[in-house]
């Protein structure tokens, strides 16, 4: 199985536009049509995602931060002293402070992030706040094999930090592949600290992906604007709409872009037809019970060592080891 977000070498900064053209053409030729969720994240998309995190319905970020505030010291104790922390998809590294401030003598912080600007800013900020921790940023796609810098000698273990329930964007088989890759990168004595969103009432889940202010809808449709900017296609955003529904059998929110009418879109040299109400799949956000996630970890050769929950049991942070 192949991971969905693979397009860069370690040292590249942005997917080349002809690569995006190929990905889009392939996705539009499929039945049903589908585009990969990493296409959400141009600069505007990253801004819109931050705005989503502030919506009252989007409980994930709030619950995870509350959980880190409440249990930061215990979590740090579970990880132990002299940790090298490698954060996958670190973005602005908002939650990282809540971990670093409790860790006993952390030796290095390696944020792995594909967008150079947030990467630069977060290293600057954390470097000032934690002057004794070596900052070793890596501009890369975390789904690819990483060339991690050599660990400082004092390192007792490498812990991979993967917050935000980003693991939910991967289908089960791909999620297992990604966890296996992390398992190899953390080494024998390492661990993975991962944020995992939990199964819950359908109405709460669907509200989180259909906020009243319409920010998520704007985020979803921005994918088409991003594609237009990247490859000069002519998607008309007024003729498409956002839909996010919970699929209880699969245990995931499925986000689609719906065509509001019968229409033709030009993509490169091709004319692509959309039928009225045709649904193009753009994102999965998988939700787990604690048992589901333990089984997934097991498939990847990992064991759940400890789990922390917020008071309402909406979200979990889990520590996995070999």
Single residue of 60, 98, 221, 304 touching ligand AVJ by CB under 6 A:
60
Q: 159, 78 in Cβ contact below 8 A?
A: no
- Shortest gap between Cβ of 221 and ligand AVJ (angstroms)? 12
Measured from the CB atom, the residue of 184 and 204 that comes closer to ligand AVJ is 204
Q: Does the footprint of ligand AVJ cover residue 285 (CB under 6 A)?
A: yes
Measured from the CB atom, the residue of 143 and 216 that comes closer to ligand AVJ is 216
Measured from the CB atom, the residue of 8 and 253 that comes closer to ligand AVJ is 253
Q: Does the footprint of ligand AVJ cover residue 165 (CB under 6 A)?
A: yes
Q: For tokens 């053409």, what's the residue?
A: 25
Q: 164, 142 in Cβ contact below 8 A?
A: no
What is the token pair recorded at 90?
A: 């670190």
What is the token pair recorded at 2?
A: 């192949």
Shortest CA distance to 184 belongs to which of 141, 153, 148, 138? Answer: 148
Q: Does the footprint of ligand AVJ cover residue 169 (CB under 6 A)?
A: yes
- Alpha carbons 288 and 302: distance in angstroms, whole number: 16
Single residue of 36, 163, 168, 191 touching ligand AVJ by CB under 6 A:
168
- Alpha carbons 169 and 172: distance in angstroms, whole number: 9
Q: Mark residues 8-47: x for contact with ligand AVJ by CB under 6 A, - for none.
A: ----------------------------------------
Q: Does the footprint of ligand AVJ cover residue 320 (CB under 6 A)?
A: no
- Alpha carbons 282 and 39: distance in angstroms, whole number: 9
Q: For tokens 């939700």, what's the residue?
A: 287
Single residue of 15, 164, 190, 191 touching ligand AVJ by CB under 6 A:
164
Q: Does the footprint of ligand AVJ cover residue 222 (CB under 6 A)?
A: no
Q: For tokens 């706040």, what's the residue?
A: 129
Q: List residues near ligand AVJ by CB under 6 A.
A: 52, 60, 164-166, 168-169, 209, 216, 283, 285
């Amino acid at each position: 199985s192949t991971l969905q977000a693979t397009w860069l070498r370690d040292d590249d900064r942005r997917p080349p536009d002809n690569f995006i053209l190929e990905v889009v053409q392939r996705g539009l030729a499929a039945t049903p049509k589908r585009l990969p969720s990493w296409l959400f994240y141009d600069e505007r998309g990253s801004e819109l995602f931050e705005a989503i995190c502030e919506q009252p319905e989007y409980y994930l970020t709030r619950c995870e931060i509350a959980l880190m505030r409440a249990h930061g010291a215990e979590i740090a104790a579970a990880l132990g002293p002299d940790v090298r922390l490698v954060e996958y998809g670190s973005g602005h590294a908002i939650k990282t402070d809540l971990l670093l401030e409790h860790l006993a003598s952390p030796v290095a912080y390696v944020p792995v992030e594909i967008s150079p600007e947030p990467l630069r800013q977060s290293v600057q900020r954390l470097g000032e706040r934690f002057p004794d921790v070596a900052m070793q940023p890596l501009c890369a796609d975390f789904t690819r094999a990483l060339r991690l810098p050599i660990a400082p000698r004092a390192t007792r273990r490498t812990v991979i930090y993967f917050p935000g329930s980003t693991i939910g964007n991967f289908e089960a088989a791909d999620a297992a592949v990604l966890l296996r890759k992390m398992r190899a990168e953390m080494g024998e004595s390492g661990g993975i600290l991962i944020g995992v969103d939990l199964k819950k009432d359908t109405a709460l889940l669907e509200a989180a992906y259909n906020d009243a202010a319409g920010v998520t809808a704007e985020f979803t449709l921005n994918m088409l604007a991003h594609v237009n900017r990247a490859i000069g296609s002519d998607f008309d955003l007024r003729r498409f709409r956002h839909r996010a529904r919970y699929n209880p059998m699969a245990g995931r929110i499925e986000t689609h872009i719906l065509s509001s009418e019968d229409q033709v879109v030009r993509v490169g040299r091709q004319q692509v037809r959309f039928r009225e109400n045709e649904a193009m799949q753009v994102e999965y956000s998988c939700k787990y019970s604690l048992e589901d996630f333990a089984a997934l970890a097991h498939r990847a050769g990992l064991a759940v060592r400890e789990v922390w929950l917020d008071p309402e049991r909406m979200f979990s942070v889990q520590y996995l080891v070999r």
